[in-house]
Amino acid sequence: MKKIPLLFAGLFLSLLCFNLSLLKAQEITLPELPFHLTAEPWQPSQQDKSAFLDAISATCRVVARQQDASGAIIDPYLDREHQYATPYFAFAVGVLLKAGRGDDLKEAGILAMEHSTGNFAAGTKSIPDEHGEFFISPLAHALELYRPHVSPGTHREWVDRMKTPLDVVMQNFDGRINNWRTYAMKGEWTRVQLGLVDRDQAVDFIETAWHELSQRVRIVNDKWNLYQDWSSDPQSLAVEAVGRGNLIGLVMEGYDGPSVKEMKAAIRRGTQTSLLLQAPDGQTPANGRTDNHIFNDVLYQLAFESLVEDALNEGDSLLAGQYRRAANLAFNSILRWQRTDKPWEGSFYITKNHFEPGLRVGYQPASQWGNYTGATIQHLSEAWLSRTSEIQEKPAPTEIGGYALETDGKFGSFFANAGGLQVVANLRGASIPKYNLSWTPLGVIRFSKSGWDARLGPSDGEHDLKAGTRVDLQTGSGDTLDTYRRLSGVTFGPEWVERGHWVRIADLAANYQAVPEVHFVHPLLVKFTLHYSYVTGRGGPYFKQHFTVTPDLVVSRLSSPQSLPYGLTVPLLENDGRPLETGMDQQMVYTGYKQDGDKQYFISLNRDTQIDSSATAIRSTYGWLKPIRFESKEASIDLMVYPKSPGDLEAVDLQSSFSWTDEGFSTALAKIGEKYYIGTTAAGGEGRELDLNGDGKADVRFDKTCQFILQLEDDKVIRAEADREVNMSYQGASYFLSASQPIDL
């Protein structure tokens, strides 16, 4: 018997352990979400998909005005055709024609098809910016859309052009292995379905891309099956939806190659994960390149729409209804950035602000008007085609809450949600610049709430790593904002004095990390702590920041065992292309939209409070953020974050009603204990009883310990739900609750 050399034996064992660890990682389950009741009264949106066509047609009419005599869409800021703007326009017009809309755009669409199929047939050097992969799927699908509208001869010529071999149209055939490869995978299968290319060759290309060219490892080996683009560190949660979305398209179009089972499992699990990452106001998660671009939300919309039919086929009507609701949230999110100014009326800004696009606020180098306007109408059109069933919406997980999720370490993010109020933190920041920018600052980056505009709680987005660069930005009001971009980021997190200067955690990505510790999770109450510590020999102070998340507000407590001056940084949005209404007094600061719009309040809970507003505003993808520092001589810095909608309790009344209790705290909105929440429209927690009216007597009892939610109306329980089978008694009556089955009382 041959002996295995010691070196190779060790290598074998290492590989075995590595593969076993990967297997174990994939066995980790997503947080259980056993509840269906929401903290506030919930109504389905009844969003009709004709609204998608309204947005597509309005944008296409603006795009059509940029078309030249050859059929190319000319980017108005670059003065040339850019990337895939023309084929995406052609496809979108084709979808409008299929829907019986857009007759006035038909000739422009036909001209765009003629131009783009001609470029495609001539090969990569004739394709704008050598983006041939992006042309395949939209042009192939558009062939059938335009068949009734062109002569048989023209259609045959287009079909012949679309048979051009992949290696002729795909530049750097073996080199583009990030999300660009998934465009080619999806496109080749579309061509197989239409009989344009050889099936065996296409399957070989897809399987090789999956196994040999890294596509499998990018998504299968991720903790939650999110797509790792490997184009930044940490990974981009914005770009994630691109690669996963194309793989969804490949599978949902009926791919039947050898790896389809594994692909389907990955995209199903990854898309269920993204239900938890979506903000309650419909936005995709922030961070990474293409952070806070409009088309990101459309990608989430398309992914959710695509999985509706899959869930129905699997007999899961609840999941299908959640996907439909999440898709509608994503679509309605983008409408906030639909332009009203002529001649752009009806089209969309590129990034989530109202600055003139020529200023490129929040842009990356690839961000241009033509390609990303094209991406918006392309994916909206695909979403319209994907919606084939009319089903009843169900509350989306992001509206229910009751989870705390840490992403794979490659993404380094943490999400907590209680009752539709979400807190997002970056556990790592970008220490390696991308395009000389940091797209992922360390610290808490987003507060979001159902029915409320999450831009008011921002600190996400890029900041410039080139100190001293002059910036002059024209605002929507005609004023000019003059400042210097500095080596400076801003998140909701600690700030302290180092060598005589204040430094913020957002700027120390190379030296610091955050580690989450989850204490309690319930749909109405989530408690966790972020531990900030240095990870290099540089050294530095340690901080812990405790969060209590409720459906109404968030309470943060920041402390450090070291004796040093420190504070809590609050990012205040001052201008998103239009000035916001901001204010400050001795105990609170706020920002908000004028004319009785949403507002965000940051309210000190310390008796001793100093607020410093001397720091220079910095520019994020949303706009200009003013770093505000809260300080106190007390043992901790305690702050309340209050997202206020019109008609909600005034901030001054909320502040005056706040009081600490032995178990937690109390406000005019709710009473919070160690493991319970009692509000005006919902109550619940973990235990066997609950005193709703504070008279010292239990109003609701259960025969065993459980987690439960009670919906309230006029101080009475009208619905109940528990996470297990229990008997409940209330007002002299007994009720049997099956696990995860709401009942009306």
Which helix (H) or strand (E) element contains residue 604? strand 599-604
Confidence of residue 288 (pLDDT cuts 50, 70, 90): confident
Structure tokens at 325: 């609701």
Dump pLDDT digits (tens) for 501-539: 999 999 888 899 999 999 999 999 999 999 999 998 778
Q: Which residue has the higher pLDDT, 287 or 297?
A: 297
Are residues 722 and 728 in contact, defined by beta-carbon separation less than 8 angstroms?
yes
What is the reported pLDDT for 360? 93
Among the four given CATH numbers 3.20.20.80, 1.50.10.10, 1.20.120.10, 3.30.1700.10, the one describing domain 24-37+47-399: 1.50.10.10
Dump pLDDT digits (tens) for 477-489: 333 333 333 446 8
- What integer is the mean pLDDT of 318-327? 98
Tell me the domain boundaries of the chain.
24-37+47-399, 412-657, 681-744
What is the reported pLDDT for 512? 94
Confidence of residue 18 (pLDDT cuts 50, 70, 90): very low
Confidence of residue 395 (pLDDT cuts 50, 70, 90): very high
Confidence of residue 225 (pLDDT cuts 50, 70, 90): very high
Confidence of residue 435 (pLDDT cuts 50, 70, 90): confident
Dump pLDDT digits (tens) for 679-716: 999 999 999 999 999 999 999 999 999 999 999 999 99
SS percent in the chain: helix, strand, coil, step 5: 35, 25, 40
Dump pLDDT digits (tens) for 58-74: 999 999 999 999 999 99
Share of the chain above pLDDT 70, in %: 93
Domain 412-657: assigned CATH number: 2.70.98
Nearest alpha-carbon partner for 429 in 547, 222, 287, 556: 287
* 465 pLDDT above the threshold of 90: no
Q: 393-408: buried (b, 16+ CB within 10 Å) or exposed (e) per residue?
A: bbbbbbbbbbbbbbbb
Lowest mean pLDDT among 19-33, 472-486, 587-601: 472-486
> How far is the C-alpha of 601 from the C-alpha of 513, rounded, in Å?
27
Q: How far is CA 168 from the centre of its chain?
A: 36
What is the reported pLDDT for 419? 98
Nearest alpha-carbon partner for 538 in 453, 431, 610: 431
Nearest alpha-carbon partner for 29 in 303, 261, 225: 225
Confidence of residue 398 (pLDDT cuts 50, 70, 90): very high
| Mean per-residue pLDDT of the chain | 92
The number of C-alpha atoms within 13 Å of 505 and in the hemisphere containing its C-beta is 36
What is the reported pLDDT for 461? 64
Confidence of residue 14 (pLDDT cuts 50, 70, 90): very low
Residues written for the chain: 745
Cβ neighbours, 10 Å, residue 704:
10
Model confidence, pTM: 0.93
Strand partners, 449: 421
* DSSP for residue 49: T
Structure tokens at 317: 């009507």
- What integer is the mean pLDDT of 419-443? 88
What is the reported pLDDT for 474? 40
Structure tokens at 311: 């869930």
> How far is the C-alpha of 95 from the C-alpha of 49, rounded, in Å?
13
- What integer is the mean pLDDT of 137-166? 98
Share of the chain above pLDDT 90, in %: 84
Are residues 446 and 282 in contact, defined by beta-carbon separation less than 8 angstroms?
no
Lowest mean pLDDT among 338-342, 411-415, 507-511: 507-511
- What integer is the mean pLDDT of 306-330? 97
Q: Tokens 């795009």 — which residue?
A: 63
What is the reported pLDDT for 462? 66
* 19 pLDDT above the threshold of 80: no
* 2 pLDDT above the threshold of 90: no
Q: Which residue has the higher pLDDT, 332 or 473?
A: 332
* 302 pLDDT above the threshold of 70: yes
